[in-house]
Amino acid sequence: MNNALGATTSAGPTVFVVYGASGDLAKRLVMPGFAALAAAGLLPEQWVLIGSGRRATPDDTYRQHVRDGLAEFARGKNGVTDEVIDSILPGLRFAGGGFTADDPGELLDAIAAAKDELGRDAQIVHYLALPPSTFEDYTKAIAAHGLAEGTRVVYEKPYGTSPESFEHLDQLVLSVFDEQQVFRIDHFLGKEATQQLHVIRFANRMIEQLWSNEHVAQVQIDVPEVLGVDDRATFYDETGATLDMLVTHLLQVAAEVALDPPADWTSDALAQAREDVLAKFRPLDPAEVVLGQGTGYREIKDVREGSTTDTFVAARVWVDTERWSGVPFVLRTGKKLAESHQHVTLVFKRPLNSPQKDDEAAPETLTFTLSGNGSLFAGVTARRPGVSDDLVPGKLYLDLAELPNAEPLPPYAALLRDVLIGDRALFTTSAGLRSAWQVAAPMLDHRPELHPYEPGSWGPVEAEEIAAPYGWLTERPRG
């Protein structure tokens, strides 16, 4: 990827260190992303990947672990074949013995050996595929063993679990690294379709002219999920829907929609535009937030007895800029809901002289789907063909995967690529995350009532009011 709108650059020799290499995150997302880069020919010509963990593990055993994980989660997707998997394995090493400020285990020796192989100038990328509670200790360990200078570091979300813990962690990280070295990952920003939001808007005058409160009545960002949390209950019970999705993904996507034109199309300018508009998001009013917990959640293994963790959140957000003043951004996400989709929808005001007189008729809309390769569809009104004067809803549809020579990367692969070449356009900044935490702070300090809902439903009925007067526009683009 990218330089905001597509200029590619290549990465030099790289030592890629994955902390938590035997864990679920590395198995399901990080290594499949790495394999997708290999399939696309986007890895550096020279690289070594070192898995770091507590147990002493021979390299061949680690390679088999990675092979098994890729066979389960990557093979047959994004060009990842058995041949691609086999091509990755020789570059893998493992450093056991853990990694702390007091004891580096085998990692320093493994890095030194990799640099002997690749050259002393090889860049180091640290990837913390670990629970957020470990970020502080590993950051201190990287500093203690002289592994910070000139390197890059990737932190998974959530980056902090409260405004206070964010500030504590961020101060530590920025005492060890420069901001330009830090990549706070948010895989929603890595989605091809999320990147299309600003491209389709600014590259098409007919769309850009409509992108303001003059024409838009409401913006919906809707990410319901049918899946539960059984496979990650320990992590999820410490975070919930608000921290896992709203503070990170949904507010970042909202900023992608709300940003003003960047100064230019460099990576830094695009990130700055997103950061600038996040600072204009109004802190949430707890009265405009609905929290829910699915029936049966507390019976899941590893969920704390009597847990008050939210598995659903819907919120109305206001953006205090000239462009968006008075337009509600309504956000919704939750577990075990009626269907899964990822939609960003602009709901337009009715034309002043519209022949459509029925106030209950479907509104005109423009919807971006963020899942898969992405698509764009417009909900419009047309006259029913024939002798009738009936006005009926219709759709104009564009499947982004059908564009010429489309070869989309999965989000983790796209973000890993950007880390390798040092492109920070799709990563959250310190200032941007601080703004997101400030938006969420009032509802975290004065937590709204937790409403129950049945699995397979659309969540608490109280959430319907958040999207009034249009309601949540849940219709699929096709079928």
pLDDT tens, 100-133? 999 999 999 999 999 999 999 999 999 999 888 8
pLDDT of residue 354: 67
Contact 473, 343 (CB under 8 A): yes
Of 110-114, 210-214, 265-269, 416-420, least confident by mean pLDDT is 265-269
| Model confidence band, residue 376 (pLDDT cutoffs 50, 70, 90) | confident
Q: How distant, in Å, are the alpha carbons of 63, 222, 233, 290, 329 from that of 450?
A: 45, 20, 19, 8, 22
Strands, sheet with 182-184, edge to edge from the N-terminal-most edge strand: 92-95, 47-52, 14-19, 123-128, 152-155, 182-184
Give residue 5's pLDDT: 36
Assign 368 to helix, strand or coil: strand
What is the total residue count of the chain? 479
For residue 326, say whether it is annotated as part of any ligand binding site. Answer: no
187 is in an annotated binding site: yes
Higher-confidence position of 285 and 356: 285
Mean pLDDT over 20-49 rounds to 93
Amino acid 188: pLDDT:
74
Q: Provide mean pLDDT across the span 10-32.
A: 92
Q: Which of 139-153, 235-249, 411-425 has the highest mean pLDDT?
A: 139-153
Dihedral angle computed from the Cα positions of residues 170, 176, 181 and 184, in that order, rounded to the nearest 10 degrees:
-30
Task: List, in sequence order, every residue forming a beta bridge with 391; answer none if it has no partner.
Answer: 383
Q: Rounded to an integer, what distance in angstroms lies between the CA atom of residue 294 and that of residue 456?
A: 9
Please enumerate in sequence order all residues whose Cβ is within 8 A of that of 375, keeping only pairs 6 or more positions apart, or say none: 193, 368, 369, 397, 398, 399, 400, 401, 477
Averaged pLDDT for residues 184-203: 80
Q: Is 301 annotated as a binding residue?
A: no
Residue 475 in this model has a pLDDT that exceeds 80: no
> Is 70 exceeded by the pLDDT of residue 269?
yes
Q: Which residue has the higher pLDDT, 474 or 17?
A: 17
Task: Answer yes or no: is 52 a known binding residue.
Answer: no
CB distance 61 to 103 below 8 Å = no
pLDDT > 90: percent of the chain: 65
Check the annotation: does 54 bind a ligand: yes
Query: Can you list the alpha helix ranges (DSSP code H) found in 145-250?
Result: 163-176, 192-203, 205-208, 233-241
The mean pLDDT value for 355-361 works out to 64
Closest CA to 247 of 463, 429, 440: 440
The string of DSSP codes covering 120-135 is: TT-EEEEEE-S-GGGH
Q: Which of 2-6, 271-275, 318-322, 451-455 has the lowest mean pLDDT?
A: 2-6
| Residue 21 in marked binding region | yes
Q: Which is catalytic among the residues 65, 126, 198, 249?
A: 249
249 is catalytic: yes
Those residues with Cβ within 8 angstroms of residue 186's Cβ, 6 or more apart along the chain or in another chain: 157, 248, 249, 252, 426, 427, 428
Annotated ligand binding at 179? The verdict is no
> Is residue 251 a contact partner of residue 245, using CB atoms and an 8 Å limit?
no
Q: How many CB atoms lie within 10 A of CB 297?
A: 24
pLDDT band at 57 (very low <50, low <70, confident <90, very high): very high
- pLDDT at residue 387 in the model: 63
Distance set, CA 252 to CA 101, 245, 277, 295, 322 (Å): 33, 10, 10, 29, 19
**CA 420 from chain center: how many Å?**
18
With cut-offs at 50, 70 and 90, classify the pLDDT of residue 340. Answer: very high
Work out whether strand 365-369 and strand 375-383 pair parallel, antiparallel, or are unpaired: antiparallel
Give the residue from 341, 286, 274, 342 showing the smallest Cα distance to 314.
286
pLDDT of res. 478: 41
3-class secondary-structure state, position 5:
coil
Q: CA triplet 54, 234, 225: central angle to 5 degrees?
A: 125
Distance CA 56, CA 94 (A): 8
Region 199-216: what's the mean pLDDT?
92
**Angle, nearest 10°, between helix axes 163-176 and 430-445?**
160
Q: Residue 191 annotated as binding?
A: yes
> Which token pair is 320?
């205090």
Question: In the prediction, which pLDDT does 254 show?
Answer: 95
Lowest mean pLDDT of 112-116, 265-269, 288-292, name the range: 265-269
> Token pair 């303001």 is at which residue?
212
| Mean model confidence pLDDT for the chain | 89
Q: Using alpha carbons, select from 87, 130, 148, 115 the residue that is nearest to residue 15.
A: 115
Q: What is the pLDDT of residue 1?
A: 35
Contacts of residue 353, Cβ cutoff 8 Å, sequence gap at least 6: none
26 is in an annotated binding site: yes
b/e sequence 149-174, b meaning 16+ C-beta within 10 Å? eeebbbbbbbbbbbbebbeebbeebe
**225 annotated binding-site participant:** yes
Instruction: Answer yes or no: is 280 a known binding residue.
Output: no
Residue 244, annotated ligand binder?
yes
pLDDT class for 9, splitting at 50, 70, 90? low
Output the CA–CA distances (angstroms, integers) from residue 3 to 126, 185, 365, 389, 416, in the order listed: 22, 17, 30, 50, 14
* Domains delineated in the chain: 14-156 (3.40.50.720), 192-407+447-467 (3.30.360.10)
Nearest-angstrom CA–CA distance, 464 and 164: 32
34/41 Cα distance (integer angstroms): 11
pLDDT for residue 76 is more than 80: yes
pLDDT in tens, 390-403: 777 777 778 877 77
Is residue 64 over pLDDT 80?
A: yes
Do 8 and 1 touch, CB atoms closer than 8 A?
A: yes
Checking if the pLDDT of 467 tops 90, the result is yes
